[in-house]
Chains A and B, each alone.
Chain A
Amino acid sequence: MAAVSKGAACGVCGAGKCKETLAAGIRGNNPVLVQAIGICSCLAVTNKVENAMVMGIALTATASLSGLFMSMIRNITPPRIRMIVEIALISVFVICFDQILKALYWDMSKQLGPYVGLIITNCILMGRLEAFALQNPPMLSLVDGFSNGLGYALVLVFVGCVRELVGAGTLLGMVVLPESLYQTNLLFVLAPGAFFTMGLLIWLVNAFGPRKPEKKP
């Protein structure tokens, strides 16, 4: 993808990089389909559309905020400990988010269960901080985090739809294929279903999808 060089864009998106950055995470440089990061959680939380949606939203929020703050301290962070700083920053966000949910939005927190904590381990977060936020201004990094989160969320929801429909015959818990007509397929509820769906999806997108030419900086 087009790397925005240091100082090229203004504080917000003077050079018109916002749209470009936003589109990159969703299409040309989708974290799951093209960069192939964040696959682990993609396999874990996609057995139901609902889980996929919630995880997608939570990751988008964390990716945006951590991008913004990492970019703000990028010039004073010693390069040697930058990765530890990145992880600490992500963890602080996620733990605060988890605590606030548990205190004020108990029902939602119950629904999310262990997924909130798992956000910390998502490669997309650290990957984007390393690849983007360390070289780009804060607002643009926020856009990058948001777009990568959204790109991840879209893939997650798509895989979730396929798995829930094929596996249980339902969508968002509503019965689409009644059990009298459709033999539910446990394979798709279990982890192998995710491997098949993800593998096929990555292949299809990379073989037939619109290919964006790599731009030279």
Chain B
Amino acid sequence: MRADLRTVVFAALFGTICAVILTVVGRWAAPHRAANEKGEEMRNYLTALGVPFDAKVSAGDLISVFDRNVRVGTNGNLVLYTYVPEGTTDPEAIAVSFAGMGLWGPVKGVLALEPDLKTIRGLRFYQQEETPGLGGEIGSDWFVGQFKGKRIVDDSDEPGFKLVKQGTTPDRNSVDAITGATMTSDRVQNMLQDLARKVAAERMNRHGRSE
């Protein structure tokens, strides 16, 4: 009976100590974490849009660079991030964010387009949990680097984008998929196709208004 009591008391004490340590560390880290996560998102928007910034700046500074250069506007279900360089009035690039399910978890990214809303300026994935070394390569420079200058419309201006098998020559609206990561590649392709359709609708919308 005494042993049982000792066990219970020890468990309660030990559990309380662990809980207190975790709470203290968690509460202390929460604001830092949130700032870092926000900064990370900003960094990806700025990189995709091609906004010049110092790679070593803190999360807080990134947010202020973002606020000075990027205007955020919602249009229907599409959030548009327009890069208007500080001191000028003409938009230099427009970014749209996208999200979808990858193989293991959510994939979030940002696609930056030239003002024509057809040509890709940059692409970044800022959240993904794909298999490291395989699907995880969507975050690598070689993969996202392929997108620059490609178009999210085909030759007859229909919206669409493809990830094709490595070895075939990618055309104006396709890039190499990742070998060994067919599932991730397929899902990313679907996200981009979906996004291309949404952007096409936004493009029609703009032309409609300007005419």
Residues A92 and B7 in contact in the complex (CB < 8 Å), given A51-B132, A99-B29, A190-B134: no
In the bound assembly, the distance between CA atoms of A143 and B111 in angstroms comes to 50
Tell me how many residue pairs across A and B have CB atoms closer than 8 Å: 65
B6 adjacent to chain A (CB < 8 Å): yes
Give the interface size class of chain A.
Answer: 20 to 34
Q: How many angstroms from the CA of A113 to the CA of B180 in the assembled complex?
A: 21
| B10 contacts A77, C-beta separation under 8 Å | yes
Main secondary structure of the interface of A (DSSP, over half): helix
Task: Report A147 CB to chain B, min CB distance, Å.
Answer: 27
Q: A47-B133, A48-B133, A114-B129 are in contact. Are A85 and B21 (CB under 8 A)?
A: no
Least distance between B1 CB and chain A CB atoms (Å): 13
User: How distant is the Cα of A162 from the Cα of B39 in the complex, in angstroms?
Assistant: 37
Q: Write the chain B residue with the least CB distance to A93.
A: B21
The answer, yes or no, to whether A174 is at the interface (CB within 8 Å) is no
> At the interface, yes or no: A88 with Cβ under 8 Å from chain B?
yes
List, in ascending order, chain B residues with CB within 8 A of A91's CB: 18
Given contacts A48-B133, A113-B132, whether A103 and B29 have CB atoms under 8 Å apart is yes
Q: Note all chain B residues with C-beta closer than 8 A to A85.
A: 14
Query: What residues of chain B lie closer than 8 Å to A92, measured between beta carbons?
Result: 18, 21-22
Q: How far is the CB of B76 from chain A (nearest CB, A)?
A: 33
The residue on A at minimum CB distance from B105 is A114
Q: Which residues of A contact B6 (CB under 8 A)?
A: 78
Q: Which of B10, B22, B39 contacts A96 (CB 8 A)?
A: B22
CA distance in complex: A48, B20 (Å): 37
Determine if A189 is an interface residue (Cβ-Cβ < 8 Å). yes
On chain A, the residues within 8 Å of B39 by CB distance are: 106
- B26 within 8 A of partner (CB): yes
Contact with B along A96-111 (1 / 0, CB 8 A): 1001101110100010
Interface residues of B in 1-33 (CB under 8 A from A): 3, 6-7, 10-11, 14-15, 18, 21-22, 25-26, 28-29, 32-33
Q: Which residue of A lies closest to B28 (CB)?
A: A103
Most buried by A among B36, B39, B129, B179: B36
Q: Which residues of B contact A95 (CB under 8 A)?
A: 22, 25
Asked if B92 is at the interface of the complex by the 8 Å CB criterion, the answer is no
Q: How large is the interface on B (under 10, 10 to 19, 20 to 34, 35 or more residues)?
A: 20 to 34
User: In the complex the two chains form, what is the Cα distance from A189 to B14 in whole Å?
Assistant: 43
* Interface positions of B from 86 to 127, Cβ below 8 Å from A: none
> CA–CA, A80 to B8, complex, Å?
11
Q: Taking A76-B10, A92-B18, A99-B26 as contacts, is the C-beta distance between A186 and B179 under 8 angstroms?
A: yes
Chain A residue nearest to B3 in the complex (CB): A78
| Contact assessment for A189 and B33 in the assembled complex, using a CB-CB cutoff below 8 Å | no
B36 touches A99 (CB 8 A): no
CA distance A114 to B29 in the complex (A): 18
With A and B bound together, what is the CA distance between A102 and B28 in angstroms?
Answer: 11
When A102-B36, A103-B36 are in contact, do A190 and B21 touch as well, CB less than 8 Å?
Answer: no
- Most A CB contacts (10 A, CB to CB) among B6, B14, B26 go to B14
- Are A88 and B18 within 8 A (Cβ)? yes
- Least Cβ distance of B197 to chain A in Å? 31
In the complex, per-residue mask of A54-92: 1 if CB is within 8 Å of any chain B CB, else 0: 000000000000000000000011101100110011011
- Nearest first, the 9 closest Cβ-Cβ pairs linking A and B are A103-B32, A103-B29, A99-B29, A78-B7, A47-B133, A106-B36, A102-B33, A96-B25, A92-B18
20 A-B pairs besides A51-B132, A103-B32 with CB distance below 8 A are: A45-B132, A47-B132, A47-B133, A48-B132, A77-B10, A78-B7, A78-B10, A81-B11, A84-B11, A89-B18, A92-B22, A99-B28, A99-B33, A102-B33, A106-B36, A106-B39, A110-B40, A113-B129, A113-B132, A189-B180
